[in-house]
């Protein structure tokens, strides 16, 4: 424990494969990601952690207070463990909390472990629970599921800017192109534009392939103070900026239906803290729970002007060799979306990119990376900027 200001770095990352049915307990799922992160951090041991943050959305597993069960299984006691929940933005919220704990001097080395095991429930049960992320009195009982909420954004964006279903489908085409190169991803085949456009409607105008898939999975990010980081690794990846914001829970009270205000505000904070502009970002991971979500992220993060997201994907500028590579690991649309693990998976990808360890998915010369992670239908927004 060291009191006083300290820079914060990521020194280890780990992730399970994202699958439809992992066949193991949440404790074993988290152990796999944690073990990989320890090995990645040049063979740290569980007892080296002086704190942990466990992140997930409740009600998908029967275990109450999962942080206690997981900390015990991973050998993290008696060091303190905390539980963080912000729906789909849970594990980047955990990263923000860990950052604050290290900057304050209360902790030097913190593991942020995100997980979700969704296969114990049917798709209908999962959608019902995800619907509770909307207003349970006036919205979710009347059909405002996650697909329906983002379909409203898609309709509004199409009406205001002329965005087309084909432009949205091209985002999924890109996702499939890269998910087949990511052995951790749930989808291991490319999908044609025609197949996407002809797939069944889920919530018009969103079709089957416009929507990400539920998944089981876990991720782990190990953060350290500057002093500790330099002793652990020669390749720390530094957190340069963080932004976090929220918006109204109910769709009826949202001031904007063509973008996510929480993402715009979180990005503004992160850019200011990091002292950079959108044009300085070399690679980004954005929360593409639906194709419209990725397109709005292009605009909300300042990669293009409002209304020009469709043009950006049509020109392939968000491909690996484009001006701003986005979701070149397949994104949620390709990897799957185990709610509590998703943000950590995004961070892992950016860390590997900035270290030059991304293999076939490496963005040449990447020095600054960005993570954009959203919870609910634009309820929570986190943006984190990293650098080598």
Dist. CA 190–CA 286, nearest whole Å: 20
Percentage of the chain surpassing pLDDT 70? Answer: 98
Average pLDDT value for residue range 143-155: 92
Q: What is the pLDDT of residue 5?
A: 57
Q: What is the pLDDT of residues 206-226, one digit of tens each?
A: 999 999 999 999 999 999 999
Q: What is the pLDDT of residues 44-58, one digit of tens each?
A: 999 999 999 999 998
Q: What is the pLDDT of residues 286-319, one digit of tens each?
A: 999 999 999 999 999 999 999 999 999 999 999 9
For residue 256, the 8-state DSSP code is -
Task: Name the more confident of 379 and 43.
Answer: 379
Q: What is the pLDDT of residue 138?
A: 85
Q: What is the pLDDT of residues 261-294, one digit of tens each?
A: 999 999 999 999 999 999 999 999 999 999 999 9
Averaged confidence pLDDT in the chain = 95
Contacts of range 361-366, beta carbons closer than 8 Å, 24 or more positions apart: 361/178, 361/181, 361/182, 361/320, 361/328, 361/329, 363/282, 363/283, 363/320, 363/325, 363/328, 365/282, 366/282, 366/283
Q: What angle do CA 303, 286, 273 make, to 5 degrees?
A: 65
Q: What is the pLDDT of residue 2?
A: 47
Q: What is the pLDDT of residue 1?
A: 46
Residue 177 has pLDDT above 50, yes or no: yes
Dist. CA 243–CA 271, nearest whole Å: 8
Residue 85 has pLDDT above 50, yes or no: yes
Q: How many alpha carbons lie under 13 Å from residue 355 in its C-beta half-sphere?
A: 22
Q: Where are the domains of the chain?
A: 8-121+214-232
In this structure, of 108-112, 124-128, 157-161, 184-188, the range with the lowest mean pLDDT score is 124-128
Average pLDDT value for residue range 95-101: 98
pTM of the model: 0.96
Residue 66 has pLDDT above 80, yes or no: yes
Q: What is the pLDDT of residue 103?
A: 96
Residue 82 has pLDDT above 60, yes or no: yes
Q: What is the pLDDT of residue 87?
A: 94
Dist. CA 197–CA 190, nearest whole Å: 14
Q: What is the pLDDT of residues 230-256, one digit of tens each?
A: 999 999 999 999 999 999 999 889 999
Q: How confident is the model at residue 127 (pLDDT cuts 50, 70, 90)?
A: confident
Return the active site residues: 88, 337
The CATH fold of domain 8-121+214-232: Peroxisomal Thiolase; Chain A, domain 1 (3.40.47)
Q: What is the pLDDT of residues 1-45, one digit of tens each?
A: 444 456 999 999 999 999 999 999 999 999 999 999 999 998 899
Beta strands in 178-330 (DSSP E): 201-203, 206-207, 217-225, 237-246, 283-285
Average pLDDT value for residue range 96-110: 97
| Residue corresponding to tokens 């720390």 | 236
For residue 15, the 8-state DSSP code is E
| DSSP letter string, 28-84 | HHHHHHHHHHHHHTTS--GGG-SEEEEE--TTSSS-SSHHHHHHHHTT-TTS-EEEE
């Amino acid at each position: 424990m060291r009191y006083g200001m300290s820079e914060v770095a990521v020194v280890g990352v780990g992730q399970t494969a994202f699958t439809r049915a992992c066949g193991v307990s949440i404790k074993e799922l988290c152990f796999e990601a944690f073990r990989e992160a320890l090995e990645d951090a040049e063979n740290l041991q569980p007892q080296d952690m002086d704190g942990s943050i466990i992140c997930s959305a409740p009600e998908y597993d029967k275990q109450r207070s999962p942080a206690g069960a997981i900390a015990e299984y991973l050998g993290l006691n008696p060091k303190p463990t905390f539980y963080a929940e912000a729906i789909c933005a849970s594990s980047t919220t955990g990263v923000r909390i860990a950052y604050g704990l290290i900057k304050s001097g209360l902790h030097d080395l913190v593991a942020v472990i995100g997980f979700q095991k969704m296969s114990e429930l049917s798709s209908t049960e999962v959608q019902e629970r995800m619907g509770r992320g909307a207003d349970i009195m006036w919205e979710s009982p009347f059909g405002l599921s996650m697909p329906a909420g983002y379909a409203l954004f898609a309709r509004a964006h199409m009406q205001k800017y002329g965005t087309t279903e084909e432009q949205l489908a091209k985002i999924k085409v890109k996702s499939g192109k890269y998910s087949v190169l990511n052995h951790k991803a749930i989808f291991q085949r490319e999908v044609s534009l025609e197949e996407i456009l002809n797939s069944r409607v889920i919530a018009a105008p969103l079709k089957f392939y416009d929507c990400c898939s539920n998944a089981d999975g876990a991720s782990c990010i190990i953060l350290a103070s500057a002093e500790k980081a330099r002793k652990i690794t020669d390749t720390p990846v530094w957190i340069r900026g963080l932004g976090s914001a929220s918006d109204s829970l109910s769709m009826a009270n949202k001031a904007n239906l063509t973008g996510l205000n929480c993402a715009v505000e979180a990005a503004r904070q992160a850019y200011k803290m990091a002292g950079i502009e959108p044009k300085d970002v070399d690679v980004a991971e954005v929360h593409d729970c639906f194709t419209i979500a990725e397109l709005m992220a292009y605009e909300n993060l300042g990669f293009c002007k409002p209304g020009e997201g469709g043009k950006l994907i049509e020109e392939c500028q968000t491909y690996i060799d484009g001006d701003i590579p986005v979701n070149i690991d397949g994104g949620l649309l390709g990897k799957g979306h185990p709610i509590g693990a998703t943000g950590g998976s995004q961070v892992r990808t950016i860390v590997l990119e900035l270290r030059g360890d991304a293999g076939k998915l490496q963005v040449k010369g990447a020095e600054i990376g960005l993570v954009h992670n959203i919870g609910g239908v634009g309820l929570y927004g986190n943006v984190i900027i990293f650098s080598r």
